[in-house]
């Protein structure tokens, strides 16, 4: 962050870092003093920008970062992020030495992985690891006591490895039916109890469990979606213990305006036909920006009012129907607030029959992210240049 590059197209995502800070501070207040917050910034911070979110989260009280891949962790190190980073997904044993050198913690759940990784870690280095337990997600993790004991026997007395954590992941913590969550939590408590020594961090909670289940906080909460100000599920939305503030918004500016006469058509397939004389504006955003074709018909905000996208969405452009003529350059908000009206990320998710997580992730890297604090741009791309 800090560096501002020039942007030549009027389409951008705005990231409100005050909201990221507020969401992290709220979670910190919500958990016990001995519980740390791990800020989950994988997938480029759920599309918000990994380094900017990481910095904001760390300054607001998060103690550690989590990503999915070693590449993502390395990218953060290149961006001068020095905080502890946990890679939650699988990594190659061949890269264990690189991780150790960069002080990046890896997730381990296979004996063979450890045996192979040994050869790649310098004897003076130590790889910090968190053991992953599969308590019912069926994705990654140790499933039996035998597997754990084999892993512990490979590590025992070997200074190249330090078991710093143990964790699991819930499949249903965002659902109002708690039965499967409770089953997973008690299985995890049982499995963690098998360990020869309790590690420094024992953790299980994603946002949903962090928000709903203090008994699952243990000593770390992995905060993803709620840090971005979004609810883990629609079911949970009315039950949040503190309000969340959305950080992501998406904007563009009208590139062209014309009056179509009754019967004239719009876009590929000529599927939209003006029913009367209509003002149609062209926006410089399309499916290559992640504003996918399924969003045809979705409303956007301009002059604080909702207007529909008409005709097919193109790769780089789409068209909206205006209630009256508006000048080229008029700001259009596709996600976020304008003039007291708001389009939530959840509205776009519902239109696409998906979850809010997918919406911010799918806004492509062609769309520059602009970072704001106190209403001022503090980094990313400066669209005023
Ligand atoms: N921990 C792990 C292991 C995760 O995979 C995730 C999110 C989180 C914590 C954070 O969860 P939250 O965003 O609900 O707070 N993982 C994913 C995923 O794999 N698909 O969607 C979200």
Final residue before a domain boundary, out of 166, 193, 228? 228
Both 130 and 220 in one domain: the answer is yes
Q: Is 90 helix (H, G, I), strand (E, B) or coil?
A: coil
Q: Is 323 helix (H, G, I), strand (E, B) or coil?
A: coil
45: nearest Cα among 275, 385, 380, 357:
357
Ligand 1 atom 10: the closest Cα is on which residue? 224
pLDDT tier, 126 (very low <50, low <70, confident <90, very high otherwise)? very high
What's the DSSP call for residue 35? P
pLDDT tier, 104 (very low <50, low <70, confident <90, very high otherwise)? very high
Both 208 and 86 in one domain: the answer is yes
Contact between 202 and 192 under an 8 Å Cβ cutoff? The reply is yes
| Residue located via tokens 């997600």 | 137
Both 188 and 302 in one domain: the answer is no
Best mutation site among 37, 40, 184, 361 for ligand 1 pocket (most ligand atoms within 8 Å of CB): 40
Residue 25 lies in a domain: no
Q: What is the CATH number of the domain that holds 314?
A: 2.40.37.10
The tally of domains found in the chain comes to: 2
pLDDT tier, 5 (very low <50, low <70, confident <90, very high otherwise)? confident
Both 142 and 291 in one domain: the answer is no
Both 112 and 184 in one domain: the answer is yes
Binding residues for substrate: 139, 315
Both 47 and 126 in one domain: the answer is yes
Distance 383 CA to ligand 1 centre (A): 32
Contact between 70 and 88 under an 8 Å Cβ cutoff? The reply is no
Q: What is the pLDDT of residues 180-190, one digit of tens each?
A: 999 999 999 99
113: nearest Cα among 136, 83, 87:
87
Residue 258 lies in a domain: yes
375: nearest Cα among 104, 93, 12, 19:
19
Residue 90 lies in a domain: yes
Mean pLDDT over residues 193-213, rounded? 98
Q: Is the pLDDT at 385 greater than 50, yes or no?
A: no
Q: Which atom of ligand 1 is nearest to the CA of 222?
A: 9
Mean pLDDT over residues 55-69, rounded? 98
Residue 214 lies in a domain: yes
Q: How far apart are CA 59 and CA 146, in angstroms?
A: 41
Average pLDDT, rounded, for the chain? 96
Q: What is the CATH number of the domain that holds 74?
A: 3.20.20.10
Question: Which pTM was predicted?
Answer: 0.97
- Token pair belonging to 353: 């029959």
Residue 310 lies in a domain: yes
Q: Is 228 helix (H, G, I), strand (E, B) or coil?
A: helix
pLDDT at position 380: 75
- Token pair belonging to 249: 């918004």
Indicate whether residue 224 lines ligand 1 (CB < 6 A). Answer: yes
Distances 345 to 41, 233, 302, 360 between C-alpha atoms, Å: 18, 12, 17, 8
Distance 384 CA to ligand 1 centre (A): 35
Q: Which of 42, 111, 132, 321 is catalytic?
A: 42
Distance 206 CA to ligand 1 centre (A): 6
- Alpha helix locations (H) across the chain? 17-30, 42-46, 50-59, 70-78, 96-101, 111-118, 145-155, 179-193, 207-212, 345-351, 356-362
Mean pLDDT over residues 45-53, rounded? 97
pLDDT at position 369: 95
Both 87 and 170 in one domain: the answer is yes
Dihedral sign from CA coordinates of 28, 30, 33, 38: negative
264: nearest Cα among 256, 254, 272:
272
**168 phi and psi angles, rounded to 5 deg:** -140, 175
Who's near 258: CB < 8 A, 6+ residues apart? 279, 280
Both 318 and 188 in one domain: the answer is no
- What is the tally of helices (H) and strands (E) in the chain? 11, 22
Q: What is the pLDDT of residues 83-95, one digit of tens each?
A: 999 999 999 999 9
Q: How far apart are CA 273 and CA 251, in angstroms?
A: 26
Domain of 53 in residue numbering reads as 31-228
Q: Is-catalytic flag, 259?
A: no
pLDDT at position 4: 60
What does the radius of gyration of the chain's CA atoms come to, in whole angstroms? 24
Q: Is-catalytic flag, 8?
A: no
Both 188 and 276 in one domain: the answer is no
Both 214 and 311 in one domain: the answer is no
Distance 251 CA to ligand 1 centre (A): 27
């Amino acid at each position: 962050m800090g560096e501002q590059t020039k942007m030549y197209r009027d389409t951008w995502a705005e990231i409100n870092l005050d909201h990221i800070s507020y969401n992290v501070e709220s979670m910190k207040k919500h958990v016990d003093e001995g519980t740390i917050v791990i800020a989950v910034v994988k997938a480029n911070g759920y599309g918000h920008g990994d380094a900017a979110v990481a910095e904001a989260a760390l300054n607001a009280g998060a103690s550690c970062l989590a990503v999915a891949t070693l590449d993502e962790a390395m990218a953060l190190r290149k961006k001068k992020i020095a905080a502890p980073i946990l890679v939650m997904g699988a990594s190659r044993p061949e890269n264990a030495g690189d991780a150790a050198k960069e002080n990046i913690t890896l997730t381990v759940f296979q004996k063979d992985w450890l045996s192979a990784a040994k050869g790649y870690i310098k004897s003076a280095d130590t790889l910090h690891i968190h053991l992953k337990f599969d308590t019912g997600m069926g994705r990654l993790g140790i499933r039996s006591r035998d597997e754990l004991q084999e892993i512990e026997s490979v590590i025992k007395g070997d200074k190249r490895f330090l078991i710093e954590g143990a964790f699991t992941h819930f499949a249903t913590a965002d659902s109002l039916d708690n039965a499967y969550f409770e089953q997973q939590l008690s299985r995890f408590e049982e499995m963690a109890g098998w360990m020869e020594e309790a590690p420094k961090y024992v953790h299980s909670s994603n946002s949903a469990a962090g928000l709903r289940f203090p008994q699952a906080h243990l000593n770390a909460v992995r905060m993803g979606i709620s840090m971005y100000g979004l609810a883990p599920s629609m079911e949970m939305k009315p039950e949040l213990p503190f309000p969340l503030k959305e950080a992501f918004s998406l904007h563009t500016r009208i590139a062209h305006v014309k009056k179509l006469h009754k019967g004239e058509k719009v876009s590929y397939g000529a599927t939209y036909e003006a029913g009367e004389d209509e003002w149609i504006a062209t926006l410089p955003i399309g499916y290559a920006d992640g504003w996918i074709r399924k969003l045809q018909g979705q409303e956007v905000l301009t002059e604080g009012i909702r207007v529909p996208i008409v005709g097919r969405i193109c790769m780089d452009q789409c068209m909206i129907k205006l209630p009256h003529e508006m000048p080229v350059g008029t700001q259009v908000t596709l996600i976020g607030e304008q003039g007291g009206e708001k389009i939530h990320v959840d509205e776009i998710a519902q239109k696409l029959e998906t979850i809010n997580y997918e919406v911010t992730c799918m806004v492509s890297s062609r769309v520059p992210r602009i970072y704001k604090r106190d209403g001022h741009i503090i980094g990313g791309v400066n669209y005023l240049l």
